[in-house]
């Protein structure tokens, strides 16, 4: 009997210690023991429980392993709706928010605010009844979310029971507490490395990883993911009152719930703005991704007095970082050799989430650009990525240099073929002059196969590199003689993948004229010029035979472009290539010339600079771009004073706002469709 008691007490003591250290680690960010010591404690509990399975309790920390998979999530009702926040994108908009708050409260003085990092994760509500975790749900539409209780129970950063702090208020009868589930940047990278090693697709960013991990029907998968949480508010509460939001945060922490330690009280809006500026600088050094700051009125009675609109409270605002700019560091500078032999310096960056994806590389354009911006290896920098454009380094934070930064020098030899790299007079780029340089050959083949060209699926840079290195292809014409037997047995290739590629290549034999012209990779002929040539000349033979004078007559085709085109087609090697492609069975579709010619006349679009933003329902952005280009417009990525028209589809964001500010005409989808009919 006493033996049994002793064992039970020992098990309970181990569990108590583990819970205690969980709280120190996750809620207070102040661990008292090392990870190894914690693991030893945990293993001891596992061992003891294995020896005495009859004494395993359902609330033991060892039970956070997941439960039987569900068919689907049950609905989870929020007793008080989970609202979202209105956004501010500039200091002026934040000051406007403050003015509104003071006006509504009839308060002339400074308002006290709490500012908190805005975590970029997934909102979650957890229900504690009498201090015990009894349910958890996602936000859903704000009223009903998905019941993810089994998943949440596997997350070690979330206690199953709340603590009663000595001398403080005990947990209330009922507490719906809200927070953001996220994954640390380091844990995210490790998670993706493991996924790639296991042949699984990596997550695009920590937020997707967190959301994907929490919304799992199989909670044992959630259990294996490094989810964390910061709590920032409450829904329905019975049995507790908080005079201020700051009190609320401190109390949550005392109950054992993790609260972001970066949060602070600010006396007045200018202090909050100052905090935002500091946070902007620090952002890259934080272990997790944030997308801005949340500013909340501290006094709860004032929060109640201000109330809420239909979707967001009047007492809080999200002050967001600009979506396409983020801080990073230059880890190294490499050079890349393009299809024209241009040797382009490329920055290897500390991974950073910007413009919707994690960016690890940015183009540095050329030597002059590096000198102009004074970019050195080791520098802290700001990186921009807007829409589909290639990420670039905008600016160096010179004030944060340590003295260990290393200036970059262009290599004298091509990293691919070892040939001489030179900078021709009047050019800003360096070039490898060896026409047989493997890097150039690979880049030209990649361009040919790319989405805007022949669009051959399965021929990315990696596979092209392999085929060239294996001696299977030397030019794009060789693609069309590849056989399944040639490919099967290459590293990582089976019969099926070989057959798929051969089929994909065969499927590309009937291209649109503009796509085919683009694919050839003629200097100065991108998608836009290719489209012009197709719509004016109609057939490939006509393009091939056109004289410089004929080409120059096409609106939008200048002297240099015309010269480049005729030079391309007169070169014997290109003629051989062209004949080879045609002999391989490529038949280029003729293009419509008459209606396109009519489109040229459209004065509405002619010479206008157009920006597309948001999603269009009836056609892709690419197609929409082609349609306005065919009418003489130029499509660019970002809105500036030079923009003439913005076409805004669904969920258009900052670009639309900017256009409104600059007074640029905005077309919605319906108006746009009318204009291109
Ligand atoms: S307060 C009514 N505080 O941002 C107030 N939200 O756009 C509601 N978020 O759905 C939210 N960090 O998922 C608040 N410190 C923070 C936050 C935060 C991240 C998320 C949350 C919310 C969304 C609002």
The CATH number of whichever domain residue 35 belongs to comes to 1.10.287.610
Q: With a cut of 70, which residues of the chain have pLDDT below it? A: 1-2, 387-388, 594-601
Question: What is the distance in A from the centroid of ligand 1 to the CA of 676?
Answer: 41
Q: Are residues 173 and 53 in the same domain?
A: no
How many other CB atoms sit within 10 Å of the CB of residue 3? 7
Question: What is the distance in A from the centroid of ligand 1 to the CA of 201?
Answer: 29
Q: Are residues 145 and 236 in the same domain?
A: yes
Residue 77 belongs to some domain of the structure: no
For the record, the structure tokens of 334 come out as 């490499």
Nearest CA to ligand 1 atom 6: 118
Q: Which phi-psi region, left, alpha or beta, contains residue 16 (left: φ > 0; alpha: ψ -120 to 50)?
A: alpha
Structural domain total, the chain: 6
> Using the 8-state DSSP alphabet, how is residue 244 labeled?
B
Burial code (b: 16+ CB inside 10 Å, e: under 16) for 114-137 equals bbbbbbbbbbbbbbbeebebebbb
Residue 69 belongs to some domain of the structure: no
Contact 207, 122 (CB under 8 A): yes
Nearest CA to ligand 1 atom 11: 84
Question: What is the distance in A from the centroid of ligand 1 to the CA of 259?
Answer: 13
Nearest CA to ligand 1 atom 16: 118
Nearest CA to ligand 1 atom 12: 118
Calpha distance 291→301 (Å, rounded): 28
Residue 76 belongs to some domain of the structure: no
Calpha distance 289→642 (Å, rounded): 33
Q: Give the pLDDT score at 609.
A: 92
Nearest CA to ligand 1 atom 23: 84
CATH (domain of 406): 2.40.50.140
Question: What is the distance in A from the centroid of ligand 1 to the CA of 120?
Answer: 9
Calpha distance 219→227 (Å, rounded): 12
Closest atom of ligand 1 to CA, residue 123: 13
Question: What is the distance in A from the centroid of ligand 1 to the CA of 230?
Answer: 10
Q: What domain range includes position 385?
A: 325-427
Q: Are residues 218 and 94 in the same domain?
A: yes
User: Any idea which residue has 């597309």 for tokens?
Assistant: 612
Q: What 3-state class would DSSP assign to 547?
A: coil
Question: What is the distance in A from the centroid of ligand 1 to the CA of 116?
Answer: 9
Question: What is the distance in A from the centroid of ligand 1 to the CA of 118?
Answer: 6
**Could you tell me the strand order of the sheet in which 174-182 lies?**
132-138, 122-129, 174-182, 228-238
Nearest CA to ligand 1 atom 10: 84
Q: How far apart are the first and last CA of the chain?
A: 89
Closest atom of ligand 1 to CA, residue 116: 15
Q: What 3-state class would DSSP assign to 185?
A: helix
Q: What is the largest CA-CA distance in the chain?
A: 105
Q: CA distances (Å), 419 to each of 345, 483, 550, in order? A: 17, 33, 38
pTM for the model? 0.64
Residue 101 belongs to some domain of the structure: yes
State the DSSP H helix or E strand holding residue 516, giving kind and residue range, or none if neither: helix 513-520
Q: CA distances (Å), 661 to each of 323, 512, 658, 665, in order? A: 17, 40, 5, 11
Residue 74 belongs to some domain of the structure: no
Residue 380 belongs to some domain of the structure: yes
Question: What is the distance in A from the centroid of ligand 1 to the CA of 436?
Answer: 56
Q: Are residues 93 and 233 in the same domain?
A: yes
Query: Which of the listed residues 123, 143, 181 should we mutate to test ligand 1's pocket, taking the one with most ligand atoms within 8 A of CB?
Result: 123
Residue 71 belongs to some domain of the structure: no
CATH (domain of 634): 3.40.50.10190
Query: For the purposes of burial, counting CB atoms within 10 Å of the CB of 384, is it exposed (0-12), middle (13-18) or buried (19 or more)?
Result: buried
Q: Are residues 127 and 262 in the same domain?
A: yes
Q: Are residues 215 and 346 in the same domain?
A: no
Query: Which of the listed residues 183, 294, 298, 653 should we mutate to test ligand 1's pocket, taking the one with most ligand atoms within 8 A of CB?
Result: 294
Query: Which of the listed residues 180, 206, 296, 297 should we mutate to test ligand 1's pocket, taking the one with most ligand atoms within 8 A of CB?
Result: 180
Pocket of ligand 1 (CB under 6 A): 83-85, 116, 118-119, 123, 139, 180, 232-233, 294, 313, 316, 318
Task: Name, in order, each residue with C-beta under 8 angstroms of 191's C-beta and a sequence gap of 6 or more.
Answer: 183, 203, 209, 225, 226
Burial code (b: 16+ CB inside 10 Å, e: under 16) for 396-409 equals beeeeeeeebeebe
Closest atom of ligand 1 to CA, residue 83: 2
Any idea what the Cα angle at residue 493 is, between residues 492 and 495, rounded to 5°?
A: 150
Q: Give the pLDDT score at 479.
A: 96
Helix ranges restricted to H, 538-668: 540-545, 548-552, 559-570, 572-583, 594-600, 621-630, 654-662
Calpha distance 26→227 (Å, rounded): 11
Q: Which of 10, 103, 110, 118 is catalytic?
A: 118
Contact 256, 163 (CB under 8 A): yes
Q: Give the pLDDT score at 599.
A: 52
Question: What is the distance in A from the centroid of ligand 1 to the CA of 383?
Answer: 26
Q: Are residues 590 and 605 in the same domain?
A: no
> Using the 8-state DSSP alphabet, how is residue 412 labeled?
S
Any idea what the Cα angle at residue 642 is, between residues 641 and 648, rounded to 5°?
A: 80
Query: Which of the listed residues 78, 84, 85, 230 should we mutate to test ligand 1's pocket, taking the one with most ligand atoms within 8 A of CB?
Result: 85
Q: Are residues 314 and 329 in the same domain?
A: no
Closest atom of ligand 1 to CA, residue 312: 2
Closest atom of ligand 1 to CA, residue 139: 10
Nearest CA to ligand 1 atom 18: 118
Residue 70 belongs to some domain of the structure: no
Q: Are residues 145 and 275 in the same domain?
A: yes
Q: Are residues 164 and 179 in the same domain?
A: yes
Span 502-534, pLDDT tens digits: 999 999 999 999 999 999 999 999 998 999 999
Q: Which of 255, 285, 320 is the last residue of a domain?
A: 320
Closest atom of ligand 1 to CA, residue 308: 2
Q: Which of 407, 427, 447 is the last residue of a domain?
A: 427
Is residue 118 annotated as a catalytic residue, yes or no?
Answer: yes
CATH (domain of 524): 1.10.150.20
Calpha distance 516→534 (Å, rounded): 10
Query: Which of the listed residues 83, 119, 143, 259 should we mutate to test ligand 1's pocket, taking the one with most ligand atoms within 8 A of CB?
Result: 119
Q: Give the pLDDT score at 2.
A: 61
Question: What is the distance in A from the centroid of ligand 1 to the CA of 535?
Answer: 51
Residue ranges with strand state E in 367-436:
376-377, 380-384, 392-396, 406-407, 421-423, 430-432
Q: CA distances (Å), 672 to each of 7, 166, 431, 609, 649, in order? A: 75, 65, 43, 14, 10
Closest atom of ligand 1 to CA, residue 316: 5
Query: Which of the listed residues 120, 231, 233, 258 should we mutate to test ligand 1's pocket, taking the one with most ligand atoms within 8 A of CB?
Result: 233
Contact 48, 11 (CB under 8 A): yes
Closest atom of ligand 1 to CA, residue 117: 15
Contact 527, 519 (CB under 8 A): no
Q: Are residues 500 and 632 in the same domain?
A: no
Q: Which phi-psi region, left, alpha or beta, contains residue 96 (left: φ > 0; alpha: ψ -120 to 50)?
A: alpha
How many other CB atoms sit within 10 Å of the CB of residue 326? 25
State the DSSP H helix or E strand holding residue 308, giving kind and residue range, or none if neither: none
Nearest alpha carbon to residue 326 among 373, 413, 263, 384: 384
Question: What is the distance in A from the centroid of ligand 1 to the CA of 119?
Answer: 8
Question: What is the distance in A from the centroid of ligand 1 to the CA of 263?
Answer: 13
Q: Which of 401, 427, 453 is the last residue of a domain?
A: 427
Nearest CA to ligand 1 atom 2: 83
Contact 11, 19 (CB under 8 A): no
Q: Give the pLDDT score at 501.
A: 96
Nearest CA to ligand 1 atom 3: 232
Q: Are residues 585 and 615 in the same domain?
A: no
Nearest CA to ligand 1 atom 22: 84
């Amino acid at each position: 009997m006493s033996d049994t008691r002793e064992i039970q007490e020992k098990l309970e003591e181990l569990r108590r210690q583990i819970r205690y250290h969980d709280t120190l680690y996750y809620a207070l960010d102040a661990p008292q023991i090392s990870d190894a010591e914690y693991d030893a404690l945990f293993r001891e509990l596992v061992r003891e429980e294995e020896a005495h399975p009859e004494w395993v309790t359902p609330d033991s920390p060892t039970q956070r392993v997941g439960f039987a998979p569900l068919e689907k999530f049950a609905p989870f009702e929020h007793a008080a709706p989970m609202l979202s926040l209105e956004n501010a994108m500039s200091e002026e908009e934040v000051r406007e928010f403050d003015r509104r708050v003071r006006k509504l409260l009839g308060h002339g003085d400074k308002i006290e605010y709490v500012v908190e990092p805005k975590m970029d994760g997934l909102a979650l509500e957890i229900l504690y009844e009498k201090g015990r975790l009894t349910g958890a749900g996602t936000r859903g539409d704000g009223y009903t979310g998905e019941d993810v209780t089994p998943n949440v129970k596997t997350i070690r950063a979330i206690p199953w029971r709340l603590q009663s702090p000595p001398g403080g208020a005990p947990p209330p009868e009922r507490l719906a507490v809200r927070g953001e589930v996220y994954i640390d940047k380091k844990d995210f990278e490790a998670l993706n490395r493991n996924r790639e090693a296991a042949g699984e697709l990596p997550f695009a960013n920590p937020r997707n990883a967190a959301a994907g991990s929490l919304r799992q029907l199989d909670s044992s998968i959630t259990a294996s993911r490094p989810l964390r949480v910061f709590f920032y508010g409450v829904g329905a509460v019975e049995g507790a009152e908080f005079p201020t939001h700051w009190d609320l945060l401190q109390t949550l922490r005392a109950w054992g719930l993790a609260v972001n330690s970066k949060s602070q009280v600010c006396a007045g809006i200018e202090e909050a703005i100052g905090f935002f500026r500091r946070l902007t600088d620090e952002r890259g050094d934080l272990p997790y991704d944030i997308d801005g700051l949340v500013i909340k009125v501290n006094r709860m009675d004032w929060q109640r007095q201000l109330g809420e609109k239909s979707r967001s409270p009047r007492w809080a605002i999200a002050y967001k970082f600009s979506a396409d700019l983020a801080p990073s560091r230059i880890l190294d500078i490499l050079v890349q050799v393009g299809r024209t032999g241009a040797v382009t310096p490329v920055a290897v960056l500390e991974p950073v989430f910007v413009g919707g994806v994690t960016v690890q590389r940015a183009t540095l354009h050329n030597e002059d650009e590096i000198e102009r911006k004074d970019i050195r290896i080791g520098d802290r920098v700001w990186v921009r990525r807007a829409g589909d454009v290639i990420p670039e380094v905008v600016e160096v934070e010179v004030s944060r240099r340590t003295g260990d930064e290393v200036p970059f020098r262009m290599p004298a030899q091509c990293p691919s073929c070892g040939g001489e790299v030179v900078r021709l007079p009047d050019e800003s780029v360096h070039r490898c002059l060896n026409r047989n340089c493997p890097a150039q050959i690979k880049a030209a083949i990649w361009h040919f196969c790319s989405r805007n060209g022949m669009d051959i699926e399965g021929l990315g840079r990696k596979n092209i590199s392999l085929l060239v290195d294996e001696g299977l292809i030397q030019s794009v014409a060789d693609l069309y003689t590849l056989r399944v037997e040639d490919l099967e047995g290459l590293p990582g290739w089976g019969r099926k993948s070989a057959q798929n590629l051969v089929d994909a290549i065969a499927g590309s034999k009937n291209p649109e004229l503009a796509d085919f012209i683009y694919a050839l990779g003629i200097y100065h002929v991108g998608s836009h010029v290719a489209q012009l040539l197709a719509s004016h000349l109609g057939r490939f033979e006509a393009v091939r035979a056109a004289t410089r004078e004929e080409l120059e007559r096409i609106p939008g085709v200048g002297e240099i472009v015309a010269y480049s085109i005729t030079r391309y087609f007169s070169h014997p090697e290109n003629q051989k290539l062209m004949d080879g492609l045609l002999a391989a069975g490529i038949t280029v579709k003729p293009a419509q010339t008459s209606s396109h010619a009519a489109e040229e006349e459209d004065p509405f679009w002619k010479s206008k600079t157009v920006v597309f933003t948001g999603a269009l329902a009836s056609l892709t952005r690419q197609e929409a771009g082609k349609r306005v280009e065919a009418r003489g417009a130029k499509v660019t990525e970002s809105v500036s004073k030079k923009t003439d028209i913005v076409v805004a589809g669904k969920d258009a964001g900052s670009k639309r706002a900017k256009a409104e500010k600059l007074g640029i005409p905005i077309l919605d989808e319906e108006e746009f469709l009318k204009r291109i009919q």
